[in-house]
């Protein structure tokens, strides 16, 4: 099987796995315990916090470890809202957010908040003028993702952050798909979310940055771990492996970017050279190269994904958090595509385990599937 679903998850790197096993075996003390075993675990926990903070250009006390990127999204938004002291008000998000944000804002709306969901252009970018016009006197918070997990489109979070600071509005950004792939700076936002398993770290491990300028309140008073953002004994081994994976991925980010640009170009040109129309969705100049959101007109993405799986290619029809929902792709619908076009969507995402020599195999397998499919239709 040629794995092409790295935006869904990545395998743990050897270095992260080695760190995990070492810490799990030798530093198993509870970091909240006052004895030496607890102190040893606490030192590893805080060293890991410093590693992640350094990559984000933040302070260690602004980093909070969680159980996932989705949980980080929701806990960060909750923390920012708690700082406002308001139980009602106006919130802004976009129509292309990850499901963990989209559904959470649906819940907040049911609780009494007013929610504006910004549309995006045909290339997947939000309109800064529309954002500015959407801000009202009671606007409390904006949550806009940095990189879309299905198209790879990059939003200009730095420009968004500058606008919101001028307006006195809190800003959260889902940076799960951008962390350690492109530049992510804490100074752009009031809070952001990241995840370990997107960068060759362990599953079940995420983190949130929350600016120390934000006077947020713990949801449950008396919780001591992670300053009350999240209760429960920290997974020291998982956190240490997260930090190790972060350090390695951040160091490799520039060479990886160049590699994936080259592979993406070769893939798209190779498929097109076989006579197939392939549409690469999303803004071409504001996009990370490891995510290809594609449409092959005339073939449903679900069918193509299943055929690819049988042929030994692991691709997807979008975010893994949306699996099981027989609906047109929501990101493409937000970009103005028809239901039929949105159902044609598939995602190919690249990663370290992909050998450039496999590109020819991928092109040949997709070509064979398309020929078989369209020959049946003509017959």
How do residues 65-91 score in pLDDT, each as one tens digit?
999 999 999 999 999 999 999 989 999
- Name the pLDDT band for 322 (thresholds 50, 70, 90): low
Has residue 4 been placed in a domain?
Answer: no
List, in order, residues 6 or more apart from 59 with CB less than 8 Å away: 53, 212
Asked whether residue 99 falls in the same domain as residue 200, the answer is yes
Three-state secondary structure readout of the chain: CEECECCCCCCCCHHHHHHHHHHHHHCCCCCCCCCHHHHHHHHHHHHHHHHHHHHHCCCHHHEEEECCHHHHHHHHHHHHHHHHCCCCCEEEEECCCCHHHHHHHHHHHHCCCEEEEECECCCCCECHHHHHHHCCCCEEEEECCCECCCCCEECCHHHHHHHHHHHCCEEEEECCCCCCCCCCCHHHCCEEEEECCCCCCCCCCEEEEECCCCCCCCCCCCCCHHHHCCCCCCCHHHHHHHHHHHHHHHHHHHHHHHHHHHHHHHHHHHHHHCCCCCEECCCCCCECCCEEEEECCCCCHHHHHHHHHHCCEECECCCHHHCCCCCCCHHHHHCCCCHHHHHCEEEEECCCCCCHHHHHHHHHHHHHHHHHHHHHHHC
The residue among 226, 247, 268 that closes a domain is 247
The number of folded domains in the chain is 2
Asked whether residue 345 falls in the same domain as residue 216, the answer is no
Asked whether residue 168 falls in the same domain as residue 260, the answer is no
List, in order, residues 6 or more apart from 282 with CB less than 8 Å away: 123, 124, 148, 151, 152, 153, 293, 335
Alpha-carbon distance of 313 to 169, in angstroms, equals 44
Task: Give, rounded to a whole angstrom, the gap between the first and last alpha carbons of the chain.
Answer: 31
Asked whether residue 328 falls in the same domain as residue 369, the answer is yes
Has residue 9 been placed in a domain?
Answer: no
Asked whether residue 216 falls in the same domain as residue 264, the answer is no
The whole-angstrom distance between residue 135's C-alpha and the CA centroid of its chain comes to: 25
207 close to 242: Cβ distance less than 8 angstroms:
yes
Has residue 161 been placed in a domain?
Answer: yes
Angle at the Cα of 173 from the Cα atoms of 69 and 5, rounded to 5 degrees: 45
Has residue 7 been placed in a domain?
Answer: no
CATH code at position 323: 3.90.1150.10
Give the catalytic positions in this structure. 321
> What's the pLDDT at 222?
85
Asked whether residue 84 falls in the same domain as residue 214, the answer is yes
Asked whether residue 168 falls in the same domain as residue 184, the answer is yes
> What's the pLDDT at 319?
66
Asked whether residue 164 falls in the same domain as residue 81, the answer is yes
pLDDT in tens, 209-221: 999 999 999 988 8
Asked whether residue 110 falls in the same domain as residue 35, the answer is yes
Has residue 43 been placed in a domain?
Answer: yes
Has residue 170 been placed in a domain?
Answer: yes
The position carrying tokens 């496999």 is: 358
Asked whether residue 130 falls in the same domain as residue 197, the answer is yes
The residue among 247, 280, 307 that closes a domain is 247
Count Cβ atoms below 10 Å from residue 141 Cβ, excluding itself: 25
The residue among 247, 262, 297 that closes a domain is 247
Asked whether residue 123 falls in the same domain as residue 228, the answer is yes
Asked whether residue 213 falls in the same domain as residue 236, the answer is yes
Pick from 4-18, 33-47, 214-228, 273-287: least confident: 214-228
Has residue 62 been placed in a domain?
Answer: yes
pLDDT in tens, 149-203: 999 999 999 999 999 999 999 999 999 999 999 999 999 999 999 999 999 999 9
pLDDT in tens, 102-142: 999 999 999 999 999 999 999 999 999 999 999 999 999 99
Has residue 211 been placed in a domain?
Answer: yes
Q: Give the alpha-carbon dihedral of 217, 222, 224, 229, to 10 degrees.
A: -30
CATH code at position 145: 3.40.640.10
Domain extent for 346: 252-374
């Amino acid at each position: 099987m040629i794995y092409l679903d790295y935006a869904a998850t990545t395998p743990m790197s050897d270095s992260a796995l080695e760190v995990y096993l070492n810490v799990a075996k030798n530093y198993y003390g509870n970091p909240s315990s006052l004895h030496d075993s607890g102190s040893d675990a606490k030192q590893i926990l805080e060293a890991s916090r410093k590693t992640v903070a350094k990559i984000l250009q933040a302070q260690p006390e602004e980093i909070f470890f969680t159980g996932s990127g989705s949980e980080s999204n929701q806990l960060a938004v909750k923390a920012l809202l708690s700082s406002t002291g308001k139980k009602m008000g106006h919130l802004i998000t976009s129509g292309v957010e990850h499901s963990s944000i989209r559904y959470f804002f649906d819940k907040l709306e049911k609780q009494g908040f007013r929610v504006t969901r910004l549309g995006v252009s045909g290339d997947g970018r939000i309109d800064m003028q529309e954002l500015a016009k959407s801000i009202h006197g009671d606007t409390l918070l904006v949550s806009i993702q940095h990189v879309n997990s299905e198209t790879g489109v990059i939003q200009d979070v730095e420009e968004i952050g500058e606008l919101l600071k001028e307006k006195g509005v809190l800003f959260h950004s889902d940076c799960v798909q951008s962390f350690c792939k492109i530049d992510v700076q804490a100074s752009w936002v009031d809070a952001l979310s990241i995840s370990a398993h997107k960068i060759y770290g362990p599953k079940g491990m995420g983190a949130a940055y929350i600016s120390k300028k934000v006077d947020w309140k713990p949801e449950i008073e008396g919780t001591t771990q992670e300053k009350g953002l999240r209760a429960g004994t920290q997974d020291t081994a998982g956190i240490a492996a997260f930090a190790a994976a972060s350090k390695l991925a951040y160091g490799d980010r520039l060479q990886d970017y160049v590699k994936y640009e080259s592979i993406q170009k070769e893939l798209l040109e190779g498929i097109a050279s076989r006579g197939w129309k392939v549409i690469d969705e999303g803004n071409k100049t504001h996009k990370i190269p490891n995510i290809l959101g594609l449409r092959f007109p005339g073939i449903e993405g679900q069918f193509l994904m299943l055929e690819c799986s049988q042929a030994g290619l692991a691709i997807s029809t979008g975010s893994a958090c949306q699996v099981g929902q027989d609906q047109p792709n929501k990101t493409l619908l937000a970009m103005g595509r028809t239901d039929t076009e949105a159902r044609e969507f598939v995602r190919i995402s690249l990663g370290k385990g992909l050998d450039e020599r496999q590109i020819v195999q991928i092109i040949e397998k997709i070509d064979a599937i398309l020929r078989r499919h369209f020959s049946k239709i003509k017959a």
